[in-house]
Amino acid sequence: MKIIVDGFGGDKAPAEVLKGCRLAVDEYGVEVILTGREKDLRSAASELGISLDGMEIIAADEIVTMEDLATDVVRTKKNSSMAVGLRALASGKGDAFVSAGNTGALVVGARTIVKCIEGMRRAALAPILPTATGCYMLLDGGANAECRPEMLLQFGLMGSVYMEKIMNIKSPRIGLVNIGEEDHKGTDLQREAYKLLRASNLNFIGNVEGRDIPMGTCDVVIADGFTGNIILKLTEGLGQAFTGKVKEIFKRNFLTKAAAMLVMPGLKAFRKSLDYTEYGGAPLMGIAKPVIKAHGSSNANAFKNAIRQAASFAREDVISSIKNNMPQKDELGLTEE
């Protein structure tokens, strides 16, 4: 299994990228192909004392920054570490691609270079987020600010296949984000998407309100990218705020510090459940080959887990399952864009 990794994607590249790749090679037995400035990668590895055994480097002179336009990856920065990595994936040099770089650029680059699954209307960012009882996949987490009903149906299909194959959840429960549980609630988008999802073979449980999502009411949460990104960022912010407040409470005095020692195992387990680095990254669902978007501030642990996730994505052949279960255009009454 060969995983291509953007060596200069993310806030902590290339140091944390290299550390994470080393951990993944040692723990999972995968091969890694790094893309980026070869001299800089080798120099950083030497300074950190990291062996590059099991890793190959494909030279790329440019870097897509967070300030760049999304389209720059296929226009002005065709020799960037991200673009070179995506071309390597498209040409079959590796089985999956991981990047913590510019999200918009990764979406544009993946759609343009690797292409979407035939019949798929859009690619969706699909982060895995924690709940009180486990986790759920959110589609779309921000790749498409505006969506059409048939796109939400396809998001449901992709999320269901992924959660069943990768997270081992049988018949994943699909929920549509809305302002109420009743089928007449929401805008035209939600009402029409509700009809399509209800008529599908998916395990659609109906509309789900924001307050119910963290309680684990469903395994796949469907929303347009605008709404989904707000849910994603709010979840991250609340997790950080809550853990920070708990830490503050236990540090108040000697008695609270003593109490903290008694509940420390439970606190560590709780903090781990809220830690995005444990899930790795967000699959870019709908692309013809596995692409994982790691968090921009990913550390070595996050990169290691993103590589593990990418390898599982490829090994379980999720994309073939999506292709085999894709509703046909005539079933949806779709017209060409």
d(CA 177, CA 129): 15
Say if residue 115 is in the same domain as residue 214: no
What is the average per-residue pLDDT within 267-275?
68
Say if residue 147 is in the same domain as residue 273: yes
pLDDT at 276: 58
Kind of pairing between the strands at 55-59 and 31-36: parallel
Q: What does pLDDT average to over the chain?
A: 91
Domain boundary among 280, 306, 327: 280
Mind listing the pLDDT tens digit for each residue in 316-328?
999 998 988 876 5
Report the percent of the chain where pLDDT is more than 90. 75
The closest of 310, 337, 333, 318 to 85, measured between CA atoms, is 310
Say if residue 161 is in the same domain as residue 236: yes
Mind listing the pLDDT tens digit for each residue in 154-209?
999 999 999 999 999 999 999 999 999 998 999 999 999 999 999 999 999 999 99
Say how many domains are in the chain. 2
267: pLDDT strictly greater than 90: no
Residue 115 belongs to a domain with what CATH number?
3.40.718.10
Instruction: Report whether 223 contacts 186 (CB < 8 A).
Output: no
Instruction: Report whether 208 contacts 186 (CB < 8 A).
Output: no
Mind listing the pLDDT tens digit for each residue in 82-110?
999 999 999 999 999 999 999 999 999 99
Domain boundary among 258, 280, 302: 280
219: pLDDT strictly greater than 60: yes
Say if residue 328 is in the same domain as residue 207: no
CA atoms within 13 A on the CB side of 171: 5
Say if residue 276 is in the same domain as residue 211: yes
270: pLDDT strictly greater than 70: no
Say if residue 3 is in the same domain as residue 108: yes
pLDDT at 337: 47
Say if residue 97 is in the same domain as residue 113: yes
Instruction: Place 275 in a pLDDT band, splitting at 50, 70 and 90.
Output: low
Task: Identify the bridge partners of residue 177 per DSSP, sorted by sequence position.
Answer: 208
Mind listing the pLDDT tens digit for each residue in 4-32?
999 999 999 999 999 999 999 999 999 99
Say if residue 66 is in the same domain as residue 135: no
pLDDT at 261: 82
pLDDT at 78: 95
Say if residue 43 is in the same domain as residue 113: yes
Range of 73's domain? 1-120+286-337
What is the average per-residue pLDDT within 233-253?
84
Say if residue 244 is in the same domain as residue 324: no
> 244, exposed or middle or buried, with CB in 10 Å at 0-12, 13-18, 19+?
exposed
CA atoms within 13 A on the CB side of 55: 27
Neighbours of 318 (CB within 10 A): 21
Q: Which string of DSSP letters, residue by residue, matches 186-230?
A: S-HHHHHHHHHHHHSSSEEEEEE-TTTGGGT--SEEE--HHHHHH
Say if residue 128 is in the same domain as residue 193: yes
Instruction: Report whether 222 contacts 205 (CB < 8 A).
Output: no
Instruction: Report whether 157 contacts 325 (CB < 8 A).
Output: yes
Domain boundary among 265, 280, 295: 280
Say if residue 4 is in the same domain as residue 59: yes
